[in-house]
Amino acid sequence: MSGRLQGWIVGAGALAAGLAALALGLQLAGYDAAAALGALWSGAFGSWYAITSATLVRAVPLVVIGLGLALAFRAGAFNIGAEGQFYAGAIAATWLGLHAGSLPAPLAVAVVLSGALLAGALWVAVPVLLRVRYGVLEVISTLLLNFVAEATTSLVVQGPLQESQGIYPQSDAIAASARLPMLPGTRLHGGILLALAGAVLLRHLFARTLWGFQLRAVGLGPRAAAISGRIDSRWMAAAALAVSGAIAGLAGGIEVAGVSYALFQNLSPGYGFTAIAVALLGRLHPLGVLLAGLLFGALEAGAGAMQREAGVPAVAVYLVEAVVILVVLLAESVRRGGMTALAAIGSATGVARGARN
Amino acid sequence: MEPVALAGGFFAAAVRVATPLLLAATGETVTQRSGVMNLGLEGMMLAGALTATLGATGSGPWTGVGLAILAGILLAGVFALVTIGARADQVIAGTAITLGAVGLTGTIYRQAYGAGGAGLELPTLAPIPVPVLSTIPVLGPALFSQPAPTYIALLAVPVVWWLLFRTRIGLALRATGETAAVARAAGVPTRLVRTAATLVGGGFAGLAGATLVLAQVGTFAERMTAGRGYVAIAMVVLGRWHPVGVAVATLVFGAAMALQFLFQTLGLGVPYQLFLMLPYVLALLALAGVVGRVRAPGDLGKV
């Protein structure tokens, strides 16, 4: 069996396991599991509107952030601050969007999105600097900055960017010319094209460019890459971290310019965190990230319908996402020939292998 | 308010805020010293918080505490199965555990208490004043008139220090975290050690979640841990993977968090969000000053 086919089978199996776990849990908790899964399906894929306006809209930020994270993870830089970088981008995009009314449409959009990109880059510049200059693990520094970004968002929507009446903790709507174009009859915005273009670009980068090759080399073995004498591991990883932050900022800008048109707290339902799972589930391949982003986008879109129509809390889909990830991890371990699932259980409990190791 | 009372209230709040972090970070210190980075800590705390709520409403706060520890250990078992058993990546498995815990706790909570859920009246853990010591001005109430989990947390620090640095088990554990291959050659059952260390960390995280509900907030809310599990991981790094250092880092962080209460009392016209972000900014600055000169356990995070 080819590796690619196996990958598909594992993915499908993992999804089935996740949905089965959800159905079982819901049945045990006294919900109508069949109705819930039906609502989940129809909310994600039941109609043209559901596909375009729920699933794809939800998938765009996951794919965009996920692509950036795939780049960073490939270079061995663990950026788990995408949530914060997303907010930095969203704040910049909102501020620019509120002031870009006099510019013609394509230019205003370009200004808003580049501002978001820049803001994401600036936000991640702190962890980049801390890593290069002081050796601080970016896992920790990017994480801490998430909290700072959330507090900053709260601050600006009750301060400088608060709507003109000064009552609600949110901004005014951005100028019409700063908004992304939409597919008529749907809520699908131009961000989807950016997501697709990003995937193609990243694939080209990984497969065809020297930089992409060096990046992968650094991720696979920083010492070997350094010893070869042509690659500066530290700078490669730092650069990848910076780019991933900029892209997460861009995703924040796309969300403001394409979906919300305004800034408020909880603009992101945890996109920055879910995108980590998307990147890793997609095995850091651009196409994989695209598919994983679509899958998680569909699940989260369907979750809304599940809550409305079957009374099941939308957060229940996070359980599905978790099971999908864990099953893929276990399956990969079996596929590597590392061990069988049974041996995995035995060794984790220390029964089967504890004595030998 | 007079300065002494104000200072006393501030220190008491600092210790109260720091307690769940201290518990979780102490457990994670053990886990990381064995070479495992558990990003599922946040989810384990959350699971502990919910099971503590369920247990406490059913049959009293201590049942809640027990169930919370079990819930933490159970989730840590799943994490160990995937990362140590199947050698899967720790960061992704931890992220998945947290994601799953958010989903599971949210669903169960709404099922048990309805969508609103507000106004939950829980039997909580009352402060237990230590005779004599609790009457010391300022520091007395802060350290010696706290609910039981604070004393557990403060006792756990020397116990974990002793275990890590003065026992054969601790030596085996640190060797496993430093260079697993060498430890294995010397006869240490490294996977067993890592599994045990992960389960200990999970139990502490569960207890931390219970503390948050039963000794601090008094009720459950969805995603109520609000990143405390992640902060605890940062505290482990900040405390240089040493129980005493971790305790100091956690208490200082707690004090920075408690500053917002102090400044609210004083009524300065500064936006409260600045105080919300202050502890995290301080932690970043401290990391820049501290970490460059200290090394993580050699095999941390390696599969």
Q: Report, in angstroms and rounded to the nearest whole number, the Rg of chain A calculated over CA atoms.
A: 21
Res A32: pLDDT: 87
Higher pLDDT pick, B117 / A14: A14
Query: Per the CB < 8 Å rule, is B100 touching A319?
Result: yes
Inter-chain Cβ pairs, chain A and chain B, closer than 8 A = 191
Q: Is residue B266 part of a domain?
A: no
Q: B302 — contact with chain A (CB < 8 Å)?
A: no
Identify which of B93, B274, B292 has the shortest CB distance to residue A326. Answer: B93
How many domains does the structure of chain B reveal? Answer: 1
Nearest-Cα distance to chain B for A162, in Å, is: 14
The pLDDT > 90 percentage for chain B reads 50
> How far from B120 is each of B20, B54, B117, B220, CA to CA, in Å?
21, 11, 7, 8
Instruction: Name residues 115-134 of chain A within 8 A of B (Cβ).
Output: 126, 130, 133-134
Section B87-97 average pLDDT:
88
Q: Give SS3 for A110.
A: helix
Residue type at position B5? A
Q: How far is CA B121 from the centre of its chain?
A: 24
Res A218: pLDDT: 78
pLDDT tens for each residue of A79-112? 989 999 999 999 999 999 999 888 898 899 999 9
What is the residue range of B42's domain?
22-116+132-233
Higher pLDDT pick, B137 / B163: B163
Identify which of B85, B88, B106 has the shortest CB distance to residue A313. Answer: B106
CA-to-CA distance for A280 and A285, rounded, in angstroms?
9
Tens of pLDDT, residue by residue, chain A (357 residues) = 466 677 778 888 888 888 998 898 888 878 888 999 999 999 999 999 999 999 999 999 999 999 999 999 988 888 989 999 999 999 999 999 999 888 898 899 999 999 999 999 999 999 999 988 888 888 889 989 999 999 999 999 998 989 888 889 999 999 999 999 999 889 999 999 999 999 999 999 888 888 888 877 877 777 677 676 667 777 888 999 999 999 999 999 999 999 999 999 989 988 998 999 899 888 889 999 999 999 999 999 999 899 998 888 888 889 988 998 898 888 888 777 654 444 444 444 333 333 333
Res A345: pLDDT: 40
Q: Is residue B60 part of a domain?
A: yes
Nearest-Cα distance to chain B for A172, in Å, is: 21
Query: Per the CB < 8 Å rule, is A280 touching B95?
Result: yes
Query: Per the CB < 8 Å rule, is A155 touching B273?
Result: yes
Could you tell me which chain B residue has the CA closest to the CA of A143? B230
Domain ranges in chain A?
A: 61-297
| Residue B49 half-sphere exposure toward CB, CA atoms < 13 A | 30
Identify which of A137, A322, A353 has the shortest CB distance to residue B99. Answer: A322
Nearest-Cα distance to chain B for A110, in Å, is: 31
Nearest-Cα distance to chain B for A267, in Å, is: 16
CA-to-CA distance for B73 and B41, rounded, in angstroms?
11
Res B290: pLDDT: 67
Count other Cβ atoms within 10 Å, centred on residue A102.
8
Q: Is residue B227 part of a domain?
A: yes
Q: Is residue B124 part of a domain?
A: no
pLDDT tens for each residue of B144-177? 888 899 999 999 999 999 999 999 999 999 999 9
Instruction: Name residues 10-29 of chain A within 8 A of B (Cβ).
Output: 25, 29
CA-to-CA distance for A51 and A59, rounded, in angstroms?
10
Query: Which residues of B are less than 8 Å from A326 in CB distance?
Result: 78, 82, 93, 96, 100
